[in-house]
Amino acid sequence: MKILVAVKRVIDYNVRVRVKGDQTGVETANVKMAINPFCEIAVEEAVRLQEAGKAKEIVAVSIGPSQCQEVLRTALAMGADRGLLYETDAELQPLAIARLLQHAIQKEQPTLVILGKQAIDGDNNQTGQMLAALLGWPQGTFASKLEFDGNQAIVTREIDGGLETVALDLPAVVTTDLRLNEPRYLKLPNIMKAKKKPLDVVPAASTGVELASALKVLRVTEPPRRSGGVKVASVQELVDKLRNEAKVLS
């Protein structure tokens, strides 16, 4: 089967995010960028399926500016066979991203689509669900385990009450959770090989997909700073502060 994996370029999770002075967004100039951690897990799962003989080809897809080729090369170094970039400088919302991924799926005709459950920048957790709805495909979100039984994907999902197992008829959409796998360390030979793997760039505007957002960001602000802690001399003083200052005890 063919697997399509979506990857997103985000601010590296080790970097402290700073809000712009005009509060129109977060600062990305001269900031280290990387592949979204959940997308990295999605690529790793696709590569493991290929190594197990369950997949013949892996296509990594990204949407965004030309710099997104960097994260596609990371996916190729991990083991993906081809890269596809829908290039646009516009700030896209999840629905527009899902529509562009739908365009890629109609072109590539994969059996399985794997996405990270969310991106660590927007934290929306919407693209996978919207994509499944647009395609009319079954979906398994928050996957912590993925197996196959004939023409079905068996997905173990992490839910509030524990674990839930669902059987999805292929083709299907799966979104990954943290405990699905641990992405591999990239070796230098694989990084060098990735530079020679095919990577196609398609202008997003040429697809005819509606990219305009129905949402407008009014202001981005940092969370309020936490006040410093204090030391107490006794349990009685602690209880007194919790009752009279914090008002968390009656």
pLDDT of residue 131: 97
The CA-atom distances, in angstroms, between 82 and each of 58, 173, 208, 225 are 7, 19, 23, 45
Q: Which helix (H) or strand (E) holds 156?
A: strand 152-159
pLDDT of residue 15: 92
User: Helices marked H in the chain — which ranges?
Assistant: 37-51, 69-78, 94-108, 127-135, 188-194, 235-244
Q: So where are the chain's domains?
A: 2-224
Cβ(41)–Cβ(48) under 8 Å? no
pLDDT of residue 77: 97
Whole-number Å distance between alpha carbons of 204 and 65: 10
Q: How many of the other CB atoms lie within 10 Å of CB of 181?
A: 18
Whole-model pTM? Answer: 0.87
| Positions in the chain whose pLDDT score sits under 70 | none
The CA-atom distances, in angstroms, between 228 and each of 17, 225, 231 are 21, 9, 10
Kindly state the tokens that stand for 73: 């090369």
pLDDT digits (tens, 9 = 90+) for 3-31: 999 999 999 999 999 999 898 888 888 89
pLDDT of residue 171: 97
Question: Is the domain covering 2-224 a CATH 3.20.20.105 domain?
Answer: no
Q: How far is CA 115 from the centre of its chain?
A: 6
Q: In the Cβ-directed half-sphere of 31, how many Cα atoms lie within 13 Å?
A: 18
pLDDT of residue 71: 96
Q: How many of the other CB atoms lie within 10 Å of CB of 139?
A: 21
Rg (CA), the chain: 21
- 3-state class (DSSP) for residue 107: helix
Tokens 């994907």, residue located? 153
